[in-house]
Amino acid sequence: MRSAEEIFATLDAAGRLEALPFMPEMLQYCGKRFRVFKSAHKTCDTIKDWKTMRRMPQAVHLVGLRCDGSAHGGCEAGCLLFWKEAWLKPVRGPATSDEPAGTPSEERPVVGRVGSHCDGAGLVRATRVRGAEGDEPDERYRCQATELVEATTPLRRWDPRPYLKDLASGNVRFLDFVRYVAIAAFNAVMRMHWRGRPYPYIRGLAEGPTPNDVLNLQPGEMVQVRSKNEIMRTINENQKNRGLWFDVEMVPYCDRTFQVLRRVETIINEKTGKMMRLPNACLVLADVTCGGCLSQHRLFCPRGIYPFWREVWLKRVGKPALNSVTSSA
């Protein structure tokens, strides 16, 4: 990772490079070494058109580096950060014991170099977009997720080049590439007829108010994801439980055991930039992310978004589940 001063020199006055914000949460990683996780040459569109993938030029994701929301009102979405290649430099060989690991931003004044258009204070200011006359109720946040459309361009669905780059970059292993392309082709045929059943097939069976199981799960607890058949009885015909979508990318995690990472109460609405408080309990699980392998419009998306889980889709491992099932619209 380049130093903060070097990165500031690449940014405009709004703290962006090619319309992609460099956020205050990223400063703590400056000057340190990290491994590339995946090429971020494409991403799903969660703002404008969910049926379209978008091209991100010269960017990568790094292993384990997610936004902690500290400069964005405590947003708990935990988005995987985008890193422009201009903010990084290649390193050869392992780190040595006498090599500095990088200085946290709070231990060294973070300022822009002479000629920079941005500095640490500018990054903080750029996280807010206020309404007319700075009215507090109209305060909105700006982050990489809210600015994704501006920082990317649409990809044609049948353009083979992004898929070949998925393979060439190492984002997708060859056998996985063959497997999921075959599934996508099968699903395309199935969708040509109204009676076709894409794989995996999800059909919500709940009629009327969808069920709610209150387990009060806490970070660190172990849970088992219920089977697909059990979950289908908790979602309606729109694949939702009290407004929360059960996504096809969540199916591979059914019948498996994971640790609760955290409860999610507040997230930034990527379309409006406003902070949302979730009305019902949602959880994220450790090492459980969207794989981008089974979705019709997100094939091989490397963004790794955390899916949100209802407690009714989980069961506690090692302790008896609370018997407190209720119904809610």
Q: Which domains does the chain have, with CATH numbers?
A: 4-154 (no CATH), 202-328 (2.30.30)
pLDDT value for 133: 52
201-216 tens-digit pLDDT: 999 999 999 999 999 9
Under 8 Å between Cβ of 219 and 284 = no
* Distance spanning both ends of the chain, measured CA to CA: 48
Q: Is 75 exposed, middle or buried (0-12, 13-18, 19+ CB in 10 A)?
A: buried
Are 292 and 284 contacting, i.e. CB atoms less than 8 angstroms apart?
Answer: no
Strands (DSSP E) along 87-225, which ranges?
Answer: 128-129, 140-141, 153-154, 210-213, 222-225
Confidence band for 98, pLDDT divided at 50, 70 and 90: very low
| Radius of gyration, alpha carbons of the chain | 21
182-199 pLDDT per residue, tens: 999 999 999 998 888 999
pTM: 0.87
Structure tokens of 197?
A: 């059943």
